[in-house]
Structure 1
Amino acid sequence: MDHAAEKTAQTGAPEGGVRRRRVFYIPGYDPIHPRRYRELYRKEGAEQARISGYTLNLSPKRGGGAYGWHVDATIDGEDVAVDVDVLVWSDIVRDSMSNTIPATYAQLARTAWEYIATGALWRLMKLRKGPVIAALYPVGALILQLLVALGLGWGLFALIRGGLSDMIGGWAAGLGGALGLVLFVGTLRWFKSKDAKTFVYYLMHDYAYSARYRGANPPDLERRMAAFADTIAQALRDDVDEVLVVGHSSGAHLAVSILADLIRAGRVPDRGPKLGFLSLGQVVPMVSFLRDAKRLRGDLQYLSARNELAWVDVTAPGDGCAFALCDPVSVSGVAPADKRWPLVFSAQFTKSLSPARWKTLRWRFFRLHFQYLCAFDRPLDYDYFQITAGPMNLRQRYDGRPPSASRIDHAVSKFTDIA
């Protein structure tokens, strides 16, 4: 029996088709429990199934291990069973977040210095202004908050000193100073309490996390990535048709290094499941352009030339938080002569969302950054739920699809040395 016939006999899926799939989702810098991703998949998957005319049902995860869920889908008349695992690092994210206001302002200074002094910020602006503006937003907002708090504190001090000096003499300055300081601290704390709506502190922590180690991975994150690699390696020995790794936002560059490590170590079986890598809304240049991101640049170069996997990179110019249509390998200046990945194309938010839906979402920048994981009411050739729960593997689905003509695929990074 040849391999294709053997595969069909074992799983019921023809060569290249999928009946059973393992999906590993790597979120970005997110301190929230991964149940949010299960609920997002459940809600948005049901809506996409309704729009596109297929069925998608979620149930509790089978077996132990990482947090996840099970999916049973019928798409294009084919039944597919999927186990989804979320590779959790939210605890590392929470631990990295400064608990005090002074510590956050210290992060601001270190992060601004790293990106500005090395010239990385100006080179990033040559790619896309949207994510750079998103990066500058917390810096500007924190400075503005500080100035407002200083202004209010100084104003109260001046008011009390001027109004009460005739009554209590020198005590007026001390009282004014004390009350002004209370107002200054209280104003900063009030701004911080509103961060669930403004995302100022959250974004500052996000950018500071990469800048602190100048693009290198912290030791605790490297240990977690090694554990992720072990989990994926085990799945590659399972009786499934495809193992699909999905990296969203900063989770995309973690996935690059995890997959590069797996392939280098010979942990991707020749006759095992198809291996796919889907990077969504990636912000790889925010890290790969930093001076000590040698490991990431080396992993980008290595992964881009491998045949063991199919790598598809999906972004959209409508997502102001991602480096839309920027080939992460090429712009990082490490594209090898035999480069074959990633296939870079746009999710085309303005076309795959109806005018009414686009109007509703257009200025909700953080919501749009998650649109890749959501339903489209006028879907084109990108459908997250068909990719993760449909009967075609990633390589098969996009075989022959041309990359977006407007992609940016020339070297921009100043730092190109690799580990």
Structure 2
Amino acid sequence: MKNRTAPPSEPSSTVRRRRVFYIPGYDPIHPRRYRELYRKEGVAQADISGYQIKLIGRQSPGTYGWQVTGRMDGSETEAEFDVLFWSDIVRDSMNLNIVQTYLLMARTAWTYIASGTLGRLMRLRKGPVIAALYPVGMLILQLVLALLLGHILGYVASVFASRVPLTGEGTGFAACQMLTSVTYWAVLCLTVAVLLQWFRKIDNKLYVYYLMHDYAYSARSKGANAPELEARLALFADLIAEALRSDVDEVLVVGHSSGAHLGVSILADLLRDGRLPDDGPALSFLSLGQVIPMVSFLPDAHRLRRDLHELSVQTRIAWVDVTAPGDGCAFALCDPVAVTGVAPETGQRWPLILSAAFTKTLSPARWKELRWRFFRLHFQYLCAFDQPGDYDYFRITAGPLRLRDRYQGRRASASRIETPVSKYTHMAP
């Protein structure tokens, strides 16, 4: 395992103005949730860490965002946030009925199993694989429960139907049998339909349909980006390129969960297209709770594998990847370049792999409270820590240091995973 540290930095300078582009994961909800999360958790972290953060809504048109003023370490920094949302694409992909969802489940499971991807992912971290299998198991369980209850109610209803006296010609044994059978199947089908609809109605508590569509979105095309997503990434790249021509000291791109691999591709496109001005602001990339192997291990993820490789060797963009073993939904401490098998033999610079170490940065009481709230823990990177370490989302986004300067000389986590595992490593279709 290479003893990697953050590459040398340019001369340090105080950040007075920063543009932050936040790329959410697969999320159908309006981006205002991220503003309110930042407002609430920023205040909490400021109280704990002894600095000040003030957030106001942004009045200018364009993408959804807000403005922040941070006063910390003897400096004042202004940060303007933009949420690069693709929630409309997510909602469209989730617009399937129950039967279509079950068919999608079968196709997604087949894609991951038949390609050998599922077994290889389990060699890295079992947590996110279990999270991926959870909706499959729950959908099957829901169907079994619905069928079982439907069978019981259908049987009871058919018994009552068999005792109904029939009159008229042709109302013998055959007619009675037909009435019993029709009653049984009608009640069974109605029960299954009602119960499955009820399960879907309470999915905001179970996250079964949500997670199923999440994992299925990339699996549909075996890791290739859908045309509508490629078009959105090009739009995001234009917005970041415009910010790189503005009067700011740092442009910071933050990719959370599935948004991490979108960030990789956006930044790789900017590099390839020569859209990073030589005299522009520093460009930095912070990936949080990444699930990149879920996509990069798929057969047709050629573009993502090439983007990972190119971003790992360049010198213009500082890339820090933060995960935590306590986050069961992320590939914690897995170097996404190395485990995908596209790291160069020599000269890999990025990402710098760091642990948010939830068991140390959250007090025992707070950790006990959150330990089994898996979905909430997956968002902890965006929240306050009551025993903060050297990772602080609010210092990074609203503080006076560039990302590269903040982690200058910082050693990568000693427990990171760099073993190449993916079966598919080709970077060209």
**TM-score bracket for the superposition, by shorter chain length:** over 0.9
| Structure 2 CA distance for aligned equivalents of residues 374 and 307 of structure 1 | 30
Query: What is residue 221 of structure 1 aligned with on the other side?
Result: 229
Contact 2:284/2:318, CA 8 A, preserved across alignment: yes
Q: CA separation in 1, counterparts of 2:127 and 2:280?
A: 40
Is the CA contact (8 Å cut-off) linking 1:66 and 1:87 kept in structure 2? yes
CA distance in 1 between counterparts of 2:67 and 2:185 reads: 60
Aligned residues: 406
Residue 273 of structure 2 corresponds to residue 265 of structure 1: yes
1:41 aligned onto 2:38: yes
Unaligned 5+ segments in structure 1 are: 1-13
Would you identify which runs of 4 or more consecutive aligned residues in structure 1 move more than 4 Å? Answer: none
Percentage identity across paired residues of the two chains: 66
The answer as to 2:301 corresponding to 1:293 is yes
Match of 1:387 among 370, 373, 396: 396
What SS is found at the alignment partner of 1:74? strand
Structure with larger Rg: 2
* Aligned position for 1:72: 69
Q: Does 1:138 align with 2:147?
A: no
Q: Is the 8 A contact 2:325 2:332 kept in 1?
A: yes
Indicate which of 321, 324, 331 corresponds to 1:316. Answer: 324
1:346 pairs with 2:352: no
Corresponding residue for residue 7 of structure 1: none
| C-alpha distance in 2 between matches for 1:79 and 1:235 | 20
The 3-state SS of whatever aligns with 2:134 is helix
Structure 1 position 255 matched with structure 2 position 252: no
For 1:126 and 1:186, locate their aligned partners in 2 and report how far apart those are by CA, in whole Å.
40
Q: Does 1:397 align with 2:383?
A: no
> Matched residue of 1:313: which SS?
strand
Distance in 2 of aligned mates of 1:157 and 1:48: 57
1:8-407 equivalent positions in 2, closer than 5 A: 15-61=12-58, 63-168=60-165, 169-170=176-177, 171-336=179-344, 337-407=346-416
Quote the offset at 1:339 in angstroms: 1.0
CA contact (8 A) 1:98 1:104 kept: no
AA aligned opposite 1:266: G
**Partner SS, residue 313 of structure 2:** coil
CA distance in structure 1 between the partners assigned to 2:154 and 2:50 by the alignment: 66
2:372 and 2:38 map into 1 onto residues whose CA distance is 23
Residue-by-residue CA offset, 1:341-370 (whole Å, 9 max, x unaligned): 000010010000000000000000000000
Alignment check: 8 A CA contact 2:288 2:322 kept: yes
The CA deviation at 1:63 is: 2.9
**Distance in 2, Cα, partners of 1:159 & 1:177:** 12
The residue type equivalent to 2:120 in the other structure is R
Query: Contact 2:161/2:183 (CA < 8 Å) preserved in 1?
Result: no
SS of the aligned residue for 1:278 comes to: strand
> 3-state SS of the aligned residue for 1:167?
coil
Distance (Å, rounded) in 2 between the aligned partners of 1:150 and 1:320: 32
Contact 1:80-1:389 within 8 A present in 2 as well: yes
Task: Tell whether the 8 Å contact from 2:319 to 2:351 is kept in structure 1 after alignment.
Answer: yes
User: TM-score, normalization: structure 2?
Assistant: 0.93
Could you tell me how far apart the structure 2 residues matched to 1:263 and 1:241 are? Answer: 19
Distance between the aligned counterparts of 1:140 and 1:15, measured in 2? Answer: 51
RMSD, aligned CA: 1.0
Aligned AA (1:323) = F
Partner Cα distance (2:86, 2:192) in 1: 35
**1:11 is matched with which residue?**
none
Letter in 2 for 1:132: V
- Equivalent position amino acid for 2:256 in 1: H
**Conserved? CA contact 2:12–2:405, under 8 Å:** no
- The higher-RCO structure (CA 8 Å, 6+ apart) is 2
Q: How big is the shift at 1:62?
A: 5.0
Q: Is the 8 A contact 2:268 2:311 kept in 1?
A: yes
1:258 partner SS = helix
Q: Are 1:165 and 1:173, in contact at CA under 8 Å, matched by a contact in 2? A: no
Retained in 2: the 8 A contact 1:108–1:204? yes
